[in-house]
Structure 1
Amino acid sequence: MLQQPHLKYRAFAPVGLRDRTWPDQVITQPPRWLSTDLRDGNQALPEPMDVSRKLRLYEQLLAIGFKEIEVGFPASSQIEFDFVRRLIEEDRIPDDVTIQVMTPAREDMIERTVEALAGARRAIVHVYNAVAPVWRRVVFGLNVTQTLALIERQVTQLRRLTEAMPETDWVLQYSPETFSSAELPVSLKACEAAIAAWGAGREVILNLPTTVENATPNVFADQIEWMRRALAAHPNVTLSVHPHNDRGTGTAAAELALMAGAQRVEGCLFGNGERTGNLDIVNVALNLYTQGVHPGLDFSNIDAIRATVEHCNQLPVSARHPYAGDLVYTSFSGTHQDAIKKGFAARRDGDVWEVPYLPIDPQDLGRSYEAVIRVNSQSGKGGMAYLLERDHGVVMTRERQQAFSRAAQRVMDALGGELSSGDLLALYEREYGLPGRAANDAAQAQCEPDVA
């Protein structure tokens, strides 16, 4: 690593929005969600999905409750084209669901894309081109004027093609790709060029991506609030965001963007996507849920959803993934276990959820409490007592908890690894020379059990 990284890397300049209002906003309703698992997520897979896996994931997205799904890039390959046609021709699109497809701003690809959508009841055509300085200069060799002319020409072509197919309700989505790295006035001109070419009064989604996340989330929020104000004169515009996760702050960027006025969020289940991934929709949706806002998406069986996504993507979901990972509701630490045990003991039906170390009730997502506490060498007496009481009806006094904890610690120090609930019961019976319930009866006859 360089000792003077500032000689190679440049900090992103702040927007300078002195009268910003987003820090005081509270998210009280969910955004419109778009899943791009079948397009952006699929193109990022080492082994892109075949048709059967795409269909399985598509059905899962419908079951979760997505009303807008980006189903592919039909101009990129025959497989992608055929998949879109199959959804339309086999009537697999519910009346309340809108499919979206993507195309770069190229004449041949726009024509092929519209051809793929023939017969759809409603469709969003997602057109994009990069507008940031390094892309204009290095990748495309275009100046700002030429970039704006490209947008006007390609959106005009899309309008002409779609007006010839009035049986479909057409929506334009325009993305100034690399928005977060571009000058705001240039991004605004690009969006206004797309709106004008599409036609006054027609529905437009302006999708503002952090194509490559390059600044702290508050900077992105300022960019969104700046654009929201500048576009206030266009009532038919929906402001959408498409965060990536290059800095590991995609979730924060999405949440602050919603506070700044974004109305729609694009992402993938569990954050699949190019490089470090797209925005993790599960994360943002369940963050809302823990604040008392129903996200409008159903993750009641999170393990089954995860299994489907892992099968279709051929990629694992991390054991530490928020809300869905194998270990995220599990405590090994003795102090954590003691606090959780006390939280469960104090809880009554109908109470507001307040259990230490558990920001959400695992049962709301179809998880059980069985894995909340697991015992290893870092665990304390409270966790062991919780498992024995919950699973086997063994209630120990405080003194017995302490003595048993020392015995269990000796075993784990010698063997390593975890002790299961069954292992603990067997050790308990061996230590006290009695079956677990008989030992429990004997302990209770001596004194009141310690339920702390």
Structure 2
Amino acid sequence: MKNVSKYTRGYFMPPVPCMKWTQKDHIEKAPIWCSVDLRDGNQSLIVPMSLEEKVAFFQYLCKLGFKEIEVGFPAASETEYTFLRTLIEQDLIPDDVTVQVLTQSREHIIKKTFDALKGAKQAIVHLYNSTSVAQREQVFRKSKEEIIDIAVSGAKMLKEQAAVTPGNFRFEYSPESFTGTEMEFALDICNQVLDVWQPDENSKVIINLPVTVQVSMPHVYASQVEYMSENLNYRENVILSLHPHNDRGCGVADSEMGLLAGGDRIEGTLFGNGERTGNVDIVTLALNMYAQGVDPQLDFENMPEVVEMYEKYTGMHVYERQPYGGQLVFAAFSGSHQDAIAKGMKWRDEKACEHWTVPYLMIDPKDIGREYDGDVIRINSQSGKGGIGYLLERKFGLDLPKKMREDFGYLVKGVSDHQHKELMPEEIHEIFMKNYVNIEQPLSLIKYHFDPNNELHAKIQMKYQDKVMELSGDGNGQFDAVNNAIQMGLNLSYNSLVYQEHALEIGSKSRAAAYVGFTDNENGKTYWGAGIHTDIMKASIKALVSAVNKMILDKTHR
């Protein structure tokens, strides 16, 4: 690749060898977990959560067993401030849960932070300032001494405000951009903060070592953690916390190695949500421990619900191959895999095995609320949309949207029920093609083009009930322009349009499939159509026309 010489290793190894952690082969106990879904996770969302969503998500995190939850940066905005006040004033924080808030080392921000915390039974106040070479030189343009002064003055202000604010407060300090900081300097600044706070057995403090940007391999971070762990002042009264981000895709590895190296606590999010590539995925990290016989002290026994709640509150999607949580992570599409799993389950029954050793399955799916069906999928009137959709995708390369699978599933089950027989894959494919794909009556596409001077203006020639029509429309994209032209030209009214497309990987690789669904504003019914063509735009338009035709025919036949 070009320009490789412009990149360098932006990290610092400890001044002495720190590799004792390599002598350990597993994590012996669960760390202290701190969810940062409501702060780090929320600030990374395209549309941040509303107050009601944040409250509901907070309550769900408590249900999962989190005892420390970072709820935001209350001095940053009125929304953040109001959220914290709502939790306190409505008594929504369980007695065994500690909320955590973030603050910069600035007097007015610290004062507002403590003002927001009034009435909290217990809270962690998290102070941070950036310490890396890049941040010191490029952003702050300050010397090491000036950076230390920011941290120390902030530590003093926290102590002063805690003394005059009712409540039980604990302190946390993060040398932000720790991984790009010289280790001797990181140790110095942390120790100077600790000298201000002077933790003891009854008032322990947290030193958090964030992988603000992942700039090294995981073993480097582990060595950095071990160096800090072995050289921090007041170590017996310091909780050493890790906050790995995932820029290199090594968030879980950083965390696991960091725990071996002396880490006591993890800050992360469900499914790794967070800025850029995200934070460490607590679900993966916790269930990795579980898979090795360590109780993670978090309740992930109903993983489908965890996924549902996460997607509901964040608007994010849990990837189908996401460890433990993805819909397909326990699905064995290979016949040999299915055979091995079935034989492994039979072995367990015969031998009454104490330990889980089934081939291809790290853990028993039932332990996290998932099921595994080792039988070959066969479709009849009792079949579900998932099996029908899977069959279409696996055998014919058709990956239908979730709601379209449901619509098609009901149709297939109705056909099977009416015919009183099992349907073969080719029959299911035929039903789909006949009822959804490239439907051309009563409306059909003749031709279309986009204005060369305005690619977002579509002109379409269509045939409707033997009459040729010239339609035109504008949109925020070419497909949107076509959609608007059809709606306006035919005086149709629908909303909630869903669009999805992909290349057909089975059969002809030169073809594309598109799916369109929308809800009729008049009767509230949802109509689906599909288009298959060598040109993706034509496939998309054919899908839209197919859905429109289904709506028109449905109204005509009523």
Is the TM-score greater than 0.5? yes
Please name the residue that 1:183 is paired with: 182
Contact kept in structure 2, 1:148 and 1:190, CA below 8 Å: yes
Please name the residue that 2:340 is paired with: 339
Whether 1:358 aligns to 2:357 is no
Whether 1:24 aligns to 2:23 is yes
Please name the residue that 1:230 is paired with: 231
Shift of the alpha carbon at 1:328? 0.6
Letter aligned with residue 356 of structure 1: P
Please name the residue that 1:274 is paired with: 275
CA gap of 1:232–1:290, structure 2 versus 1, over 3 A, is farther
Shift of the alpha carbon at 1:13? 4.9
Please name the residue that 1:286 is paired with: 287
Please name the residue that 1:407 is paired with: none
User: How do residues 114-125 of structure 1 correspond to structure 2 at under 5 angstroms?
Assistant: 114-125=114-125
Please name the residue that 1:106 is paired with: 106
User: Which secondary structure does the structure 2 equivalent of 1:238 belong to?
Assistant: strand
Q: Following the alignment from structure 1 to structure 2, what is the Cα–Cα distance between the partners of residues 101 and 278?
A: 17
Contact kept in structure 1, 2:226 and 2:261, CA below 8 Å: yes
Please name the residue that 2:72 is paired with: 72
Please name the residue that 1:317 is paired with: 318
Letter aligned with residue 190 of structure 1: I
Cα distance per residue 1:341-366 (max 9 Å; x no partner): 21122122553111111101110011
Contact kept in structure 2, 1:317 and 1:325, CA below 8 Å: yes
User: Which secondary structure does the structure 2 equivalent of 1:235 belong to?
Assistant: helix
What is the TM-score when the length of structure 1 is the normalising length? 0.82
Cα distance per residue 1:410-449 (max 9 Å; x no partner): x99985559x999995449x9xxxxxxxxxxxxxxxxxxx
Please name the residue that 1:41 is paired with: 41
Q: Can you give the 5+ residue segments of structure 2 that lack an aligned partner in the other structure?
A: 383-391, 400-408, 428-558
CA gap of 1:426–1:214, structure 2 versus 1, over 3 A, is same
User: Which secondary structure does the structure 1 equivalent of 2:235 belong to?
Assistant: coil
Contact kept in structure 2, 1:177 and 1:209, CA below 8 Å: yes
User: How do residues 26-175 of structure 1 correspond to structure 2 at under 5 angstroms?
Assistant: 26-165=26-165, 167-175=166-174
Contact kept in structure 1, 2:72 and 2:102, CA below 8 Å: yes
Q: Can you give the 5+ residue segments of structure 1 that lack an aligned partner in the other structure?
A: 374-382, 393-410, 431-452
CA gap of 1:412–1:103, structure 2 versus 1, over 3 A, is closer
User: How do residues 349-388 of structure 1 correspond to structure 2 at under 5 angstroms?
Assistant: 349-370=352-373, 373=374, 384=376
User: Which secondary structure does the structure 2 equivalent of 1:277 belong to?
Assistant: coil
**How many residue pairs end up in the alignment?**
395
Shift of the alpha carbon at 1:206? 0.3
Q: Following the alignment from structure 1 to structure 2, what is the Cα–Cα distance between the partners of residues 243 and 356?
A: 31
User: How do residues 373-452 of structure 1 correspond to structure 2 at under 5 angstroms?
Assistant: 373=374, 384=376, 415=396, 425-427=422-424
Shift of the alpha carbon at 1:157? 1.1
Contact kept in structure 2, 1:17 and 1:222, CA below 8 Å: no
Shift of the alpha carbon at 1:338? 1.9
Q: Following the alignment from structure 1 to structure 2, what is the Cα–Cα distance between the partners of residues 147 and 190?
A: 8
CA gap of 1:152–1:11, structure 2 versus 1, over 3 A, is closer
Q: Following the alignment from structure 1 to structure 2, what is the Cα–Cα distance between the partners of residues 234 and 303?
A: 40
CA gap of 1:13–1:160, structure 2 versus 1, over 3 A, is closer
Letter aligned with residue 137 of structure 1: E
Please name the residue that 1:439 is paired with: none
CA gap of 1:222–1:237, structure 2 versus 1, over 3 A, is same
Q: Following the alignment from structure 2 to structure 1, what is the Cα–Cα distance between the partners of residues 394 and 85?
A: 61
User: Which entry has the higher C-alpha Rg, 1 or 2?
Assistant: 2
Letter aligned with residue 301 of structure 1: N
Shift of the alpha carbon at 1:150? 1.2
Q: Following the alignment from structure 1 to structure 2, what is the Cα–Cα distance between the partners of residues 412 and 238?
A: 49
Percent sequence identity is 42
CA gap of 1:18–1:185, structure 2 versus 1, over 3 A, is closer
Shift of the alpha carbon at 1:265? 0.3
User: Which secondary structure does the structure 2 equivalent of 1:347 belong to?
Assistant: helix
CA gap of 1:416–1:226, structure 2 versus 1, over 3 A, is closer
Q: Following the alignment from structure 2 to structure 1, what is the Cα–Cα distance between the partners of residues 424 and 95?
A: 59
Please name the residue that 2:255 is paired with: 254
Shift of the alpha carbon at 1:141? 1.1
Q: Following the alignment from structure 2 to structure 1, what is the Cα–Cα distance between the partners of residues 12 and 172?
A: 28
CA gap of 1:207–1:333, structure 2 versus 1, over 3 A, is same
Q: Following the alignment from structure 2 to structure 1, what is the Cα–Cα distance between the partners of residues 6 and 130?
A: 26
Q: Following the alignment from structure 1 to structure 2, what is the Cα–Cα distance between the partners of residues 163 and 139?
A: 33
Cα distance per residue 1:166-203 (max 9 Å; x no partner): x3111110000000110011111111121122245342
Shift of the alpha carbon at 1:119? 1.1
Shift of the alpha carbon at 1:69? 0.4
User: Which secondary structure does the structure 1 equivalent of 2:225 belong to?
Assistant: helix
CA gap of 1:112–1:337, structure 2 versus 1, over 3 A, is same
Q: Following the alignment from structure 2 to structure 1, what is the Cα–Cα distance between the partners of residues 277 and 75?
A: 26
Shift of the alpha carbon at 1:334? 2.2
Please name the residue that 1:220 is paired with: 221
Q: Following the alignment from structure 2 to structure 1, what is the Cα–Cα distance between the partners of residues 309 and 175?
A: 32
Letter aligned with residue 360 of structure 1: I
Letter aligned with residue 185 of structure 1: E
Normalized per residue, the structure richer in strand is: 2
CA gap of 1:236–1:211, structure 2 versus 1, over 3 A, is same
Q: Following the alignment from structure 1 to structure 2, what is the Cα–Cα distance between the partners of residues 362 and 49?
A: 31
Cα distance per residue 1:273-308 (max 9 Å; x no partner): 000000100000000000000100000111111111
Please name the residue that 2:486 is paired with: none
What is the TM-score when the length of structure 2 is the normalising length? 0.67
Shift of the alpha carbon at 1:15? 3.5
User: How do residues 301-312 of structure 1 correspond to structure 2 at under 5 angstroms?
Assistant: 301-312=302-313
CA gap of 1:237–1:413, structure 2 versus 1, over 3 A, is closer
